[in-house]
């Protein structure tokens, strides 16, 4: 049995920052994540994707953000159970919770914070004949390493932020980039739309709208796609076809824990501490919902901060916590030169 103060389910940016805020209150954390490494989507799905809305960082790669968060929490030596899924939760007679993973690992704490992002994901796939034939042979649904596409002919389909952002990034890497979208209007950020339009005007990318990919061709590997636009169709040679139509999220086992669910998200009380309908269980980050919810990393950081303040009161009801600014109190574990503290203990599954 792994015992701690707060069990955090999900080791993405919000879960990692919660370790820092808990550490300032002298609370220990242990994180559980089904992925083999910490970082959530930022590490597993788009580590090289630039993020623009982190305070003080005009731009930071998702993977670099994870690295910086890991450095930030090193002084507090959190524990990790990686490569395992939180399967069951049971409330004990003393009010604590025991969370058991699919591998049978048990964790006990007075507080559970669910920071599972949007849950587990399946890519939304286009309805194309024999699509599976070329999966991992020219058809990719997730971009992890842009260098894979250096000097290659790329066709991206989609109209959201991912399609726009990766078009901008790969325009500097690939031999050619074509963006196809079934509408003239895009769903992504206006700034990204303007950048894509500028790349088109500079002949650095090809933009085809309204249109859609209607067929794929090739033998062992993908060699071409058919693009249909109104009454015409053209075949274009490609090395990679990357449909970025988003991911379908699923809460997984968490949906069976008796929590109040609304539109595949966990309802919380945002008037105070982001607690769920079960006292002692909180939900922070993209996994929760409440009036006015914004699914942004920086909002998850705010939610994690208030959650930790509430968790302290729950764990130590008779103690008074006085808010101290880190500029005054410092951070235990860092010396004047901010040397790295001891590495966290990580439990992984081979």
Each residue's pLDDT tens digit, 128-171: 999 999 999 999 988 878 999 999 999 999 998 889 999 999 99
What structural domains does the chain harbor? 2-121+248-347 (3.50.50.60), 127-245 (3.50.50.60)
SS3 247: strand
What 323-326 contacts at long range (C-beta under 8 Å, 24+ apart), as own/partner pairs, is 324/24, 326/24
C-beta atoms surrounding 338 within 10 Å: 11
CA atoms within 13 A on the CB side of 181: 22
Q: What is this structure's pTM? A: 0.66
- Please tell me the predicted confidence (pLDDT) of residue 145: 85
Mean pLDDT of 194-201: 96
- Please tell me the predicted confidence (pLDDT) of residue 81: 95
Would you mind telling me the total number of residues written for the chain in this entry?
Answer: 350
Mean pLDDT of 318-331: 70
At 345, list the tokens: 């203990």
Q: 348 falls in which pLDDT band (50, 70, 90)?
A: very low
C-beta atoms surrounding 217 within 10 Å: 14
pLDDT, one tens digit per residue, over 221-259 is 999 999 999 889 999 999 999 999 977 767 888 989 999
């Amino acid at each position: 049995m792994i015992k701690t103060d707060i069990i955090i389910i999900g080791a993405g940016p919000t879960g990692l920052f919660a370790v820092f805020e808990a550490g300032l209150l002298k609370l220990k954390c242990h994180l559980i994540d089904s992925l083999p490494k910490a970082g959530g989507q930022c590490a597993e799905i788009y580590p090289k994707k630039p993020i623009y809305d982190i305070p003080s960082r005009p731009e930071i790669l998702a993977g670099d953000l994870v690295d910086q968060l890991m450095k930030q929490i090193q002084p507090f030596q959190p524990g990790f159970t990686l490569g395992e899924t939180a399967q069951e939760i049971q409330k004990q007679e003393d009010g604590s919770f025991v969370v058991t993973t699919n591998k049978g690992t048990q964790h006990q704490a007075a507080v559970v914070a669910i920071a599972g992002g949007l849950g587990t994901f399946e890519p939304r796939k286009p309805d194309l004949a024999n699509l599976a034939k070329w999966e991992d042979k020219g058809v990719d649904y997730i971009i992890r390493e842009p260098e894979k596409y250096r000097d290659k002919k790329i066709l991206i389909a989609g109209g959201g932020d991912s399609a726009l952002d990766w078009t901008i990034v790969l325009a500097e890497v690939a031999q050619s980039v074509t963006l196809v979208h079934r509408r003239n209007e895009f769903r992504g950020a206006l700034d990204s739309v303007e950048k894509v339009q500028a790349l088109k005007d500079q002949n650095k990318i090809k933009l085809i709208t309204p249109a859609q990919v209607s067929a794929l061709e090739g033998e062992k590997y993908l060699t071409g796609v058919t693009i249909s636009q109104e009454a015409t169709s053209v075949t274009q040679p490609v090395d990679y076809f990357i449909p970025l139509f988003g991911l379908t999220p699923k809460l997984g086992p968490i949906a069976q824990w008796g929590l109040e669910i609304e539109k595949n998200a966990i309802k919380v009380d945002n008037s105070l501490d982001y607690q769920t309908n079960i006292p002692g269980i909180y939900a922070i980050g993209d996994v929760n919902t409440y009036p006015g919810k914004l699914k942004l990393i920086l909002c998850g950081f705010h939610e994690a901060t208030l959650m930790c303040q509430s968790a302290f009161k729950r764990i130590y009801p008779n103690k008074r916590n006085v808010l101290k600014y880190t500029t005054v109190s410092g951070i235990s574990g860092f010396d004047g030169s901010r040397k790295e503290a001891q590495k966290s203990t990580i439990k992984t599954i081979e």
